[in-house]
Structure 1
Amino acid sequence: MTDRAEAGAAAAEVTGQPVSGVASVGGAVWRAALADGRAVLVKHHPRAGAAQAEATGLAWLAEPGAVPVPAVHGWREHWLVTDYVPAGRPGVAAAEEFGRGLAELHAAGAPTVGSPPPGGPARAWIGLAPMRDEPGEHWPAWYAAHRVRPYLRAAVDQGALSHAQAGLVETVCERIDELAGPPEPPARLHGDLWSGNVHWAADGRAWLIDPAAHGGHRETDLAMLALFGCPHLDRVLAAYHEHTPLADGWQDRVALHQLFPLLVHTVLFGGGYAAQTVAAARAALRA
């Protein structure tokens, strides 16, 4: 069981600064005040490799002119220490800047689809679920093999999806080439871009936190952003599209890209996510 004293010790070890105080932010996350006046965020990852994956992901996403991310001070086994970014409120100007910055981030690219961040482990995580970053050549086949089918099998094994429901998702995989839209170069993805990982800061900007970064299709980030709602999403998408236009028919492919996070949630939480997964598969096939 981790506690405040362990978080303070981790902050001191990583930064080389004495810690004058530690306060809980929630869950296994703390704010540590350093003796030199700075504040850092200290996060405990119980899963092996997760601190390294997040640290390398944040460093990879720290692209000039893109969306700001907290600076990484370092990581030690299960601990990650980053800058502490005070929270603010979402606003229209910040949403539009976020949309443009996200387009810049995606355009920074990746070596291949499925590539992990430089120095990052192939065995990574998306939230509480394991996720493997396995480089591939073509996004449609890679997405079916490494982002849909592993979680589909797990959902069936757990009894969260019936074989009939799984067959519908499998049909999407079989038709993935015709459903995927025009080819695009690999984008540099946040990888877990639901609204909770967009941090609206006191400086009037939106920041990216808690990534599952990898090379992929840019529409995946945007589809995940829409899945659970995001403040001023219409302005985010409009600014993105104005900065870097999306391929024709991208709205029809939202359900296809949402299959991955919905299956992850089905595996982790079951319940209504199974029904949402089936609905997304049906919508993808109708597109």
Structure 2
Amino acid sequence: MPSGISASDTLVMPDQPFALQSWDGLPETLRQHATAPTMTWSAVMLDDMLLALACRDGLVQHLAPAAPASGAQAGESPCGIPAGTSRIVLAWDQSRIGNGATDWSALWDVAQHPGKRGLRLDPRSTLEIALLADGVAPNDIYTTLATTSGVDRAFRKLDQLRPYIVWWRTPEDAARIMSSGSALMTSTPADELTAIGSKSGFVALWTQSLLQNLSWAVPRNLPDADVAHIVAMLRDQPRHHNDPPDKAAGKTQSLTIDDKFWADHWEELQQRMENWLKQSP
């Protein structure tokens, strides 16, 4: 059962005979699994932007409404079961640069701290990070990204860092970057820092962390006979959260990823990123 963008070893699913594995969180990956002749995933954890697209396109199943006593909230997707939240944070190797970051602009400061930088190979979160590093206020991120000039600004910022970028797709990729020391600083799911512990030497900056809502969904090719059992199991799972040590500060200093914005703009911005990657540095 893929764990979406949360590290599999931080999810608690006691007494369940399912293996957890990570995946890249991309729509085409979900489509491949959901339309395969043979079911490979019993359920999938995904961000709420992808849930909206998958529900619209029939890649995941519409679920029977939860009982009122289950705590279901009005407005929840008919295809999803809330699974909690995940955060993407800025992490750096404290053994090499000490307390070296106060915001995302530090990721671009290769003059003061030379070395490779890790970023997610996905416009989601990466474009927000580029604009935050360029001085855009968190409250203005999505109004900026909704304009052509704002998108151009984000990619110009990425141009500055491009020679130094080590890309990651999955949480395990981000963990390997930190464990191997192949980058001095990186964006990463906060879970991965918890999973690898202090042995990597990396620490997190919670200021301007990106908060992502997560849900469970059931792929459309799961046999009908298995759906009720899987849904009941998922609804019984505790919701996953990785809050900063100072929870009050985290609430005021985080940027919640706008799933509606990404549901509306995913295709065009993904294509823009693919075109950008094909260009010569």
Greater RCO, CA 8 A, separation 6+: 2
TM-score, normalization by structure 2 = 0.25
TM-score, normalization by structure 1 = 0.25
